[in-house]
Amino acid sequence: MKILIVGDSQAQGTPGSYAEQKFRAAGHTVQRISQPSCGPIDWSSDAVSAGCRTAGLWSRYTGAVNSFRPDAVLLIFGSNDSGSRLDDALLQMKNRIAPPVFMSGPPLYPAADRQRLGESIKVINQRVFGDRWIDAYPFTPLTLQRDALQAHLPGAAGRPWGEGMAAAVMTRMASGGATTLPFVGAVSPMAVVTTVLGVAAVGVVLSLVLKRA
């Protein structure tokens, strides 16, 4: 399986690194691209912004997908972007490429104001990605070491989150997280079953009508 990891400093740092190591140890091929200080809103555009002075991130993202042709994409983001534009940015990163996209972040933050921001971002991330969102909180307890910014997990502190994300992606892909159709929103197995049963029911009704005619 080929996995593309994309994100901000969380993807560049130890969580992304340990996720990559976990995937590779399981025999998978990994490409990891990142841009610190640039969140999903920045990655959904080729323009620069006040917080992200790097242009061309959307082209970099789609270019990596087209050249690497991953079986799944893992987005790892902290709290660089928030607010009303975040939904559309995440939906674009999720729906405008073919492979299934998983998302994790933000982590728990020690500072109360940043944690409140993280909570608001978490709600949006979870809403957009549904069962392909991976909660970072169980892997980032406040007992783990943080850097001077109180935003990142240095050294081995990033290992639980990184390995937890990779394990979740591999488990969900193995249990049917992949799809052979262009991935524009999930098609649930229950929806397929319902459709099949509905078609079968129509066939039965038509058969009875014809017999009576």
For residues 164 and 111, give the distance between their C-alpha atoms in angstroms, rounded to a whole number. Answer: 23
For residues 182 and 98, give the distance between their C-alpha atoms in angstroms, rounded to a whole number. Answer: 5
> Which CATH fold topology does 2-185 show?
Rossmann fold (3.40.50)
Are 43 and 81 within 8 A, CB to CB? no
pLDDT digits (tens, 9 = 90+) for 152-205: 999 999 999 999 999 999 999 998 855 433 333 333 334 333 333 443 443 433
Task: Specify the residue for token string 């190591």.
Answer: 21
pTM for the predicted model, two decimal places:
0.82
Residue type for 141, please?
P
> Where along the chain do its domains lie?
2-185
pLDDT digits (tens, 9 = 90+) for 65-105: 999 999 999 999 999 999 999 999 999 999 999 999 999 99
The CA-atom distances, in angstroms, between 45 and each of 55, 145, 186 are 8, 33, 24
Q: Which of 86-90, 127-131, 204-208 has the lowest mean pLDDT?
A: 204-208
For residues 140 and 192, give the distance between their C-alpha atoms in angstroms, rounded to a whole number. Answer: 37
